[in-house]
Amino acid sequence: MAVSALPARSKRAPDPASEPRADSLARRVAAEALGTAFLLAAVVGSGIMGERLAAGNAAVALLANTLATAAALTVLILMFGPLSGAHFNPAVTLVMAVRREVRWGAVPAYLAAQVAGAVAGVAAAHLMFEAPLFAFSTHARSGPAQMFSEFVATFGLIAVILACLRHKAEAIPYAVGCYIGAAYWFTASTSFANPAVTIARSLTNTFSGIRPQDAPGFILAQLLGAAAAAVFFAWLLPSRSGQVDHR
């Protein structure tokens, strides 16, 4: 899931509403950690609340989980996009680094912040609902259909981001939120589309969890989907000159 990558600085006149400021790496990393933490708190917390209130109706629980996640993701991208790009997702960060919109030197810090923030968000959700701080999930999400779903979900997420970056960057928060909300329902895996989210959700034995043994397959499919989308959109939408991020 998630994640935006609002436009990096370029030689063109910046759009203050959509471009990350030249803040220190520490501030950008803090934004990634906090944003990812809130995202996972929303995903896991709404899953717990939805399941408790749905009286056994899985469709109602999934709908509640979907609406809360999509809304939270949109808000978080609006909040942190101008600061860090609001990736909240290692797959997005790696694609942005390949496109030279994030320096490779910043990538390890981004990835560490995203994973740490995601784990912290799970812990926060558990504390709010009086659940154990961490518990390995027993929710099975295995098999070719699940993995292909994650490939498709992540390909689509990167496609939305890259197309909006080119054509209508200010729409990214809403486009990503809507896409993730839709992908919850049109993919068999409910669209994790995010390695950090996958790792963290293996630590919650609740509605939104995934068994630890199923997580590596999800992560591999997500990275392959992101890579495929990056290659395809590099051909479909060739980069323009002067859009290299010098942070």
What CA–CA distance (Å, rounded) separates 231 from 4?
A: 18
Domain count, the chain: 1
14 belongs to a structural domain? no
Domain ranges, residue 170: 25-236
Q: Give 239's contacts (C-beta < 8 A, 6+ positions apart).
A: 99
Crossing angle of helices 58-84 and 25-53, rounded to 10°: 170
Is-contact 202 211, C-beta < 8 A?
Answer: yes
Enter the tokens of residue 152: 């498709």
246 belongs to a structural domain? no
Residue 139: pLDDT above 70? yes
User: What confidence tier does 2 reach under pLDDT thresholds 50, 70, 90?
Assistant: low
What CA–CA distance (Å, rounded) separates 50 from 62?
A: 7
10 belongs to a structural domain? no
Q: pLDDT tens, 188-212?
A: 999 999 999 999 999 999 999 999 9
Residue 74: pLDDT above 70? yes
54 belongs to a structural domain? yes
What CA–CA distance (Å, rounded) separates 247 from 79?
A: 20
* Nearest residue to 161 via CA among 241, 107, 112, 102: 102
By the 10 Å C-beta count (0-12 exposed, 13-18 middle, 19+ buried), 110 is classed as buried
167 belongs to a structural domain? yes
1 belongs to a structural domain? no
126 belongs to a structural domain? yes
Which amino acid, one-letter code, is at 240?
R
Is-contact 99 85, C-beta < 8 A?
Answer: no
- Whether the pTM exceeds 0.75: the reply is yes
Per-position DSSP letters for 205-231, written without gaps between them: -STT---GGGHHHHHHHHHHHHHHHHH
Q: What is the CATH number of the domain that holds 201?
A: 1.20.1080.10
12 belongs to a structural domain? no
